Structure 1
Amino acid sequence: MYEGIIQDLIDELGQLPGVGPKSAQRIAFHLLQSDPVDVRRLAEVLVEVKARVKFCTICFNVSEDDQCRICRDPRRDQTVLCVVEEYKDVVAIERTREFKGRYHVLGGAISPIDGVGPDQLRIRELMVRLADGAITEVILATDPNLEGEATATYLTRMLREFGLRITRLASGLPVGGDLEYADEVTLGRAFAGRRSAE
């Protein structure tokens, strides 16, 4: 192990998702060898992103404004709402260029093992959005894993009272995978072939 601030840097980098001890060490030494101007720019961007980025007041996607660019876009179909777990899923779906509606980001999935229940997600806010009757279809685009399926099943039961068309993404996505890692073709086909949620 290293001394003082170098070990502190490695420890902090190791807190990032997907960065293990070896990767943290490599990144730390890369930063030490980098030009000070580049390191300063990285530090400034990290501080600025925490100061400026917030969540959209409508869909809870990340945004620098009160409303994200998708919610501000009048060309988007306001009658179709795609419900996703995380904001990174919005990016994955947008890359397909198949979906022209709006989004709702739950902020996770139901996972009793992790202590995440419906009350920890933005389900109440979803119900408020659906109350005015403008939305006619809800696409449940949760991850095809145990937590995502549990969340979709729960939402399907909750949404039936609204008399909406409730659909799920079609097969083609690997079970146990995450939407953000699916390629554009697979995700695009899954979107085009979505089915009713039951």
Structure 2
Amino acid sequence: MKKASRKDKPLVLDILSQSFHDNQSVNYIIRQDKNKTERIRQLMSYSFEICTSFGEVFLSDDEKASALVVYPEKKRTTLHSTLLDLQLVFGAVGFGNIVKTLKREKLIHSIQPQERMTYLWFIGVDPLAQQKGIGGRLLQEVIAHSNADNRNVLLETSMPRNIPWYEKHGFKQYGELDLGHRLYFFRRDVER
């Protein structure tokens, strides 16, 4: 695993945009129209920038998988983050989805524990490289990185097929939310 740089951004956006094209949670907030693919890319661009500022962006060594993590206690409102929020609204979410998106975020934060953590926002593998263990290796490296920094790893998934995969990697479900689709909350505590 390596830390992604600014020059890696197009590659990271390609991987994550393709990986999350049919994701229920992503499509819940993205305006659904003929520009859906570009809107998902804009969401991933926003997420890349937020993680660059308040977390980390990782690539697998073979550059076929990427993970975006945020350290919530480092996140703060800045001029840059406010501009990114506006770009997200105009480019991806749309005005019609603002209230729904803000409500969703408030509900998520009400379930998430308020603790020092690694929040695994997105992890994805190039669709042509899936089912080869690449994502699992990257996830294990993110876990090891978090363990070294004494951080639990938390995440959500809206894809029931991903639940056994997270459980296989030591995650335990701690919550669930109904948004018209199910959002499952998982955590993996630091190994001591």
Question: Shorter chain as normaliser: what TM range?
Answer: 0.3 to 0.5
What is the TM-score when the length of structure 2 is the normalising length?
0.35
Q: Which has the greater radius of gyration?
A: 1
What is the TM-score when the length of structure 1 is the normalising length?
0.34
Higher relative contact order (CA 8 A, sep 6+): 2
